[in-house]
Amino acid sequence: AAITNKSNYADEAFEFIKILIDNDLPYSNELNPFEKRHRSKCGNIPEGYLKEFCNSLLQFDGTFPYYYSHNNSTKIVYMTHIESEDGNRGIIINSKNLKNTVIGDNGLENKSFMCGFRSNFQSQTITYYNEYEIELPLNEKEKIILKSTIDMYENNDLKQQLPETVCEIYEISKLQQKSPIGLLFAHLYYKHNTTEEGSFEDVLNECCDVIDDALYPYCNYANNITFSFGECIGKNNTRKVKYHNCRIDDDEDKKFLTFIQCSYILQLNIKGLFVKVICIYLSGLGFLLSFVITSILLELSMIYWVGPIKKRKCIIGIFLVILSNI
């Protein structure tokens, strides 16, 4: 989610920040919307246990934030956990923050889904997908994976995020290293916004830009990558590849091209200059050769125009004049 001053989705991004700095949610445990590891930690769970696992995941009452990734965009939505008369657990999709989300676009506001052995749009069932993840059907053909923060509420003592139990999330680690919220408060505390170096808006935009840069996905984890080509560079006759919705790591993303060869040779390129000089040289030599030949033919034609006029001499003279002008 981009939150620069040109962003159209600032509210969603600030909602993301609010959760990151929430005292009740100090760790972004399992917050990795860029990977899809189908039940990797639990192996192949028999289908008959999926409903039971789903009920276990939704055992706590309340409204909780969930995360999902769709078309290179990370969104936050809220789900209210419910229980049916027979003890089966489920969710009601909260209408909060559904603007510009694929869930809202499919008209699922305030819809309820109960745990089942498989996710199904017609029967309005969801199912367990992975640890702290559920599979939600958007329609009869499309499904998304929702990531829960329910693990933060499993007991009153907040658990420490351990490397051996939680996957390393590069984007979140990078965000923590840059500490944009701390930087924002530091600027405000030292009244940096009252100096000539920057206004309050500049300080806030700097914080937003740092968060935007840290959460910008890498192409290795992105789908539907869009790119374009720059202008041809005459020095090495190449064009730069510009990626619009993801970034590449020069050390790891070797499969992504950064430059391609131009489909033509610029005149400023050494090859273009050489070809140009050769063309001028060849055209000059050809012109000189044709000039000499036509001059000789004209000189020969003069012989047949001197002396007594004869039919044969006249024909040859006219022929040479025509030939010299071809």
Q: Are the CB atoms for 72 and 246 separated by under 8 Å?
A: yes
Query: What is the number of domains present in the chain?
Result: 4
The rounded mean pLDDT for the chain is 74
Residue 91: the pLDDT is 94
Q: Does residue 60 lie within any of the structural domains?
A: yes
Q: Does residue 127 lie within any of the structural domains?
A: yes
Prediction pTM value? 0.39
Are residue 239 and residue 315 in the same domain, yes or no?
Answer: no
Residue 119: the pLDDT is 92
CA dist., res. 167 & res. 130, Å (int): 13
Q: Does residue 4 lie within any of the structural domains?
A: no
Instruction: Give the pLDDT mean for 264-284.
Output: 60
Are residue 102 and residue 72 in the same domain, yes or no?
Answer: yes
Residue 297: the pLDDT is 74
Q: Which of 29-33, 47-51, 176-180, 271-275 has the lowest mean pLDDT?
A: 29-33
Are residue 74 and residue 120 in the same domain, yes or no?
Answer: yes
Q: Does residue 18 lie within any of the structural domains?
A: no
Are residue 40 and residue 140 in the same domain, yes or no?
Answer: yes
Instruction: Give the range of the structural domain holding residue 205, as residue numbers without chain letter.
Output: 171-218
4 vs 80, higher pLDDT: 80
pLDDT at 272 > cutoff 90:
no
Half-sphere exposure of 265 (CA within 13 A, CB side): 9
Band of the pLDDT at 253, cuts 50, 70, 90? low
Q: Does residue 312 lie within any of the structural domains?
A: yes
Q: Does residue 1 lie within any of the structural domains?
A: no
Structure confidence by residue, pLDDT tens digits, 138-155: 999 899 999 887 665 554
Residue 1: the pLDDT is 42
Are residue 88 and residue 121 in the same domain, yes or no?
Answer: yes
- Out of 170-174, 222-226, 241-245, the most confident range is 241-245
Are residue 46 and residue 95 in the same domain, yes or no?
Answer: yes
Residue 116: the pLDDT is 92
Are residue 39 and residue 135 in the same domain, yes or no?
Answer: yes
pLDDT at 167 > cutoff 60:
no
Structure confidence by residue, pLDDT tens digits, 293-302: 777 777 777 7
Structure confidence by residue, pLDDT tens digits, 81-140: 999 988 899 999 988 778 888 888 888 988 999 999 999 999 999 999 888 899 999 999
140 vs 169, higher pLDDT: 140
Are residue 206 and residue 305 in the same domain, yes or no?
Answer: no
Q: Does residue 17 lie within any of the structural domains?
A: no
Q: Does residue 88 lie within any of the structural domains?
A: yes
